[in-house]
Amino acid sequence: MFGNAFGWPHLIVLLVIILLLFGAPKLPGLARSLGQSMRIFRGEMKTMKDENGKDVPVTDDPATEADGTTKPKP
């Protein structure tokens, strides 16, 4: 999952701690809220990706740099 940092035992302990902190009745609402947040985040990322694909001008001129300056052509 995260290389050698976390394993299944660590994940189980983490889930038990979350269960103790929030309690069983609040877990469905917490999961629902997390799911909605992830859905919104993915939607925004997709929107940004779509906008970047349309707004970026495509040029075949390698003389133009990213900061807008140009190099003199030989």
- Domain membership of residue 41 (yes or no) is yes
User: What letters, b where the CB count within 10 A reaches 16 and e where it falls short, cover 49-68?
Assistant: eeeeeeeeeeeeeeeeeeee
* Number of structural domains in the chain: 1
Domain that holds residue 43: 24-50
Instruction: Name the residue type at position 61.
Output: D
pTM for the model? 0.46
How does pLDDT run across 5-61, given as a tens digit for each residue?
Answer: 778 889 899 988 988 988 888 888 988 999 999 999 999 999 988 877 664 455 555
Instruction: Give, in order, the Cα–Cα distances in Å from 29 to each of 25, 26, 42, 43, 46.
Output: 8, 6, 20, 21, 26
Q: Which of 13, 15, 8, 11 is nearest to 31 (CA)?
A: 15
- Domain membership of residue 59 (yes or no) is no
- Domain membership of residue 63 (yes or no) is no
> In the numeric block, which tokens belong to residue 46?
């997709």
- Domain membership of residue 17 (yes or no) is no
